[in-house]
């Protein structure tokens, strides 16, 4: 059963006895979960985020009115599920079967909480009714009272009247009993429901892999802590050891906050190793067979996805790959702007400068930065330009094929789909004290290394010295 293993399953039912089979199935499959009775005072103070599966009873109390039951269900979901929750599966665990499903879907659209799928599981398929035998219970109680008390007939009848009123009040003389033979079938039904939940299986498998990798990372690092280090000293020992590996020569001068940041950075790096091992054959856990589709369906989101992959808004200013605002406009338009020898085919420099943000990137080496050996900032000038602007001026593919340029994009920047262009043959050295501190973002390490590699390739390129 591939359900979330990090507490992202919620059960809501006012009858605890009727959710015990669900709890047993989830527990047997090692699925953590949260349980709520549906009473408003027992629901979370703020809606939860990241919930992936909700089991929801549609009938709270004796009401059989469809509008009331659907309204109550929506009110409970709004208390539990955040509108930015992401994809989740709603399984209606109710005696109503699929009677209210369409009304529920329509009502949920108005709340802004829209599950990937709503799948009904009817309690009637898994429970039977058992007589409570109230009459025989009353008869037995009358005999006990008659044989063991000194009450006269009038007093006895008065007491029994109260007992009968209490027993019969709201009772239907039967109770629901789970059919034990249906335990496996219930698990299979839940598993089948997941397969109907749109994109959810993809994310659940991936999130489980992250949870497993994080757990393995902690276990492995903890097992490496020497036994002679007492518990009260372990935090300091582990954090300092992890941070020293990142900070190197900067360790002694680093603040406690910087050491902790470095320790978390090292944890991230170690986590990556276990995550890659965990996801090696992840595709085998997706039981839904993928069919051919049109990749352009997701094309409109590519700029946003690229931004998440390409840039970061964290880290220190001296980190290699940091991109700064360039007030001195170091970028030289040479081959991109109109010149006297080529006046017609390219735009004028003045027109270009109106539509770009001038930047430069720190391309210092990571080792020399960590060991404080860098006396200068090796700066690669560049520009950020909106897609609609550059598309009118150039053929992007032609620019991307040039050895002297490095182009990344399109990516979303300040709400616009943009490109960032670095001029690799215009690298310069800037004095550390004069470096502009107005940082824009950090280029992801993978892409920063690509820039360095292409710069080195450019500088090492050799011409032919043979006669032709």
CATH of the domain at 53: 3.40.50.2300
Q: What is the pLDDT of residues 429-442, one digit of tens each?
A: 888 766 656 899 99
- Residue 222, pLDDT > 70, answer yes
Q: Are residues 150 and 184 in the same domain?
A: no
Q: Are residues 307 and 411 in the same domain?
A: yes
Q: Are residues 71 and 45 in the same domain?
A: yes
What is the chain's mean pLDDT, rounded? 84
Q: Average pLDDT, stretch 389-415?
A: 82
Q: Which pLDDT score is estimated for 447?
A: 95
Neighbours of 384 (CB within 10 A): 22
Q: Are residues 280 and 339 in the same domain?
A: no
Q: Are residues 23 and 159 in the same domain?
A: no
The answer to whether residue 221 sits within a structural domain is yes
The answer to whether residue 140 sits within a structural domain is yes
153-157, 248-252, 420-424: range with highest mean pLDDT: 420-424
Q: Which pLDDT score is estimated for 77?
A: 94
Q: Which pLDDT score is estimated for 327?
A: 87
The CA distance from 274 to 213, in Å, is 5
The answer to whether residue 348 sits within a structural domain is yes
Q: Which pLDDT score is estimated for 97?
A: 76
Neighbours of 5 (CB within 10 A): 19
Dig out the tokens for 413 from the structure: 């920047």
- Residue 299, pLDDT > 80, answer no
Which residues face 359 on adjacent strands? 325, 382
The CA distance from 398 to 333, in Å, is 16
Give the range of the structural domain holding residue 445, as residue numbers without chain letter: 300-459
Q: Which pLDDT score is estimated for 167?
A: 61
The answer to whether residue 295 sits within a structural domain is no
Q: Are residues 330 and 429 in the same domain?
A: yes
The answer to whether residue 466 sits within a structural domain is no
Q: Which pLDDT score is estimated for 318?
A: 83
Q: Average pLDDT, stretch 208-235?
A: 93
Q: Are residues 78 and 115 in the same domain?
A: yes
116 vs 249 pLDDT, higher one = 116
Q: Which pLDDT score is estimated for 169?
A: 55
The answer to whether residue 163 sits within a structural domain is yes
- Residue 453, pLDDT > 70, answer yes
Q: Are residues 104 and 229 in the same domain?
A: no
Q: Average pLDDT, stretch 177-184?
A: 89
Last residue in a domain, options 285, 319, 353: 285
Task: Please state the three-class secondary structure of the chain as a single string.
Answer: CCCCCCCCEEEECCCHHHCHHHHHHHHHCCCCCEEECCCHHHCCCCCECCCCEEEECCCCCCCCCHHHHHHHHHHHHHHHECCCCCCCEEEEEECCCCCCHHHHHHHHHHHCCCCCEEEEEEHHHCEEEEECCHHHHHHHHHHHHHHHCCCCHHHHHHHHHHHHHHHHCCCCCEEEEECHHHHHHHHHHHHHHHHCCCCHHHHHHHHHHHHHHHHHHHHHHHHCCCCCCCHHHHHHHHHHHHHHHHHHHHCCCCCHHHHHHHHHHHHHHHHHHHHHHHCCCHHHHCCCCCCCCCHHHHHHHHHHHHHHHHEECCCCCCCCCEEEECCCCCCCCCCCCCCCCCCCCCCCHHHHHCCEEEEEEECCCHHHHHCCCCCEEEEEEEEEEEHHHHHHHCCHHHHHCCCCEEEEEEEEECCEEEEEEEEHHHCEEEEHHHCCCCEEEEECHHHHHHHHHHHHHHHHCCCCCCCC
Q: Are residues 238 and 365 in the same domain?
A: no
Confidence of residue 142 (pLDDT cuts 50, 70, 90): confident
The answer to whether residue 252 sits within a structural domain is yes
Q: What is the pLDDT of residues 309-334, one digit of tens each?
A: 999 987 777 889 999 999 888 888 76
What percent of the chain is predicted at pLDDT more than 70? Answer: 85
* HSE (side-chain half, CA atoms, 13 Å) at 186: 25
Q: Are residues 160 and 205 in the same domain?
A: no
CB-based burial label for 298 (10 Å; 0-12, 13-18, 19+): exposed
Under a CB-based contact definition with an 8 Å cutoff, are residues 440 and 325 in contact?
yes
Q: Which pLDDT score is estimated for 104?
A: 92
The edge-to-edge listing of strands for the beta sheet with 34-36 is 34-36, 9-12, 53-56, 89-94, 117-122
Q: Which pLDDT score is estimated for 119?
A: 94
Q: 410-448 burial by CB neighbour count: b if 16+ within 10 A, else e? A: bbbbeeebbbbbbbbebbeebeeeebbeebbbbbbeebb
Confidence of residue 401 (pLDDT cuts 50, 70, 90): confident
Q: Are residues 64 and 212 in the same domain?
A: no
- Residue 372, pLDDT > 80, answer no
The answer to whether residue 454 sits within a structural domain is yes
Number of folded domains that form the chain: 4
Confidence of residue 173 (pLDDT cuts 50, 70, 90): very low
Q: What angle do CA 274, 277, 283 make, to 5 degrees?
A: 130
The CA distance from 27 to 140, in Å, is 40
Q: Average pLDDT, stretch 68-84?
A: 92
Q: What angle do CA 408, 411, 412 make, to 5 degrees?
A: 150
Q: Are residues 120 and 157 in the same domain?
A: no
């Amino acid at each position: 059963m591939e359900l979330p293993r990090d507490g992202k399953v919620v059960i809501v039912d006012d009858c605890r006895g009727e959710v015990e089979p669900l709890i047993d199935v989830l527990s047997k499959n090692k699925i953590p979960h949260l349980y709520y009775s549906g009473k408003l005072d027992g629901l979370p103070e703020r809606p939860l985020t990241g919930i992936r599966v909700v089991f929801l009873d549609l009938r709270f109390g004796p009401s059989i009115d469809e509008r009331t039951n659907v309204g109550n269900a929506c009110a409970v979901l709004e208390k539990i599920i955040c509108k930015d929750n992401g994809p989740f599966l709603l399984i209606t665990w109710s005696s109503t079967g699929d009677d209210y499903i369409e009304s529920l879907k329509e009502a949920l659209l108005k709340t802004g909480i829209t599950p990937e799928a709503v799948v009904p599981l009817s309690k009637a398929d898994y429970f039977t009714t058992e007589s409570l035998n109230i009459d025989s219970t009353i008869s037995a109680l009358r005999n006990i009272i008659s044989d063991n008390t000194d009450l006269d007939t009038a007093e006895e009848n008065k007491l029994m009247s109260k007992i009968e009123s209490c027993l019969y009040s709201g009772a239907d003389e039967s109770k629901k009993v789970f059919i034990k033979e249906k335990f496996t079938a219930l698990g299979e039904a839940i598993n089948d429901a997941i397969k109907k939940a749109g994109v959810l299986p993809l994310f659940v498998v991936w999130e489980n892999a992250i949870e497993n990798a994080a757990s393995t990372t902690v276990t492995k690092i903890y097992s490496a802590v020497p036994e002679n280090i007492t518990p009260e000293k372990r935090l300091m020992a582990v954090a300092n050891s992890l941070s020293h590996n990142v900070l190197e020569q900067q360790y002694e001068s680093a603040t406690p906050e910087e050491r902790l940041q470095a320790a978390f950075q090292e944890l991230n790096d170690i986590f990556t190793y276990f995550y890659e091992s965990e996801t090696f054959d992840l595709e085998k856990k997706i039981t839904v067979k993928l069919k051919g589709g049109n990749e352009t369906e997701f094309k409109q989101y590519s700029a946003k996805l690229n931004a998440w992959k390409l840039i970061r808004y964290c880290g220190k200013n001296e980190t290699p790959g940091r991109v700064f605002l360039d007030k001195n406009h170091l970028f030289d338009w040479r081959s991109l702007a109109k010149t006297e020898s080529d006046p017609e085919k390219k735009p004028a420099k003045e027109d270009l400068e109106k539509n770009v943000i001038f930047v430069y990137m720190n391309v210092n080496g990571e080792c020399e930065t960590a060991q404080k050996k860098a006396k200068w900032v090796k700066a690669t000038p560049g520009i950020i330009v909106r897609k609609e602007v550059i598309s009118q001026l150039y053929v992007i593919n032609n620019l991307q094929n040039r050895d002297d340029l490095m182009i990344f994009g399109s990516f979303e920047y300040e709400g616009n789909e943009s490109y960032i262009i670095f001029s690799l043959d215009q690298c310069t050295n800037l004095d550390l004290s004069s470096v502009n501190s107005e940082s824009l973002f950090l280029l992801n390490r993978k892409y920063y290394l690509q820039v360095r590699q292409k710069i080195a390739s450019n500088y090492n390129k050799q011409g032919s010295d043979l006669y032709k």
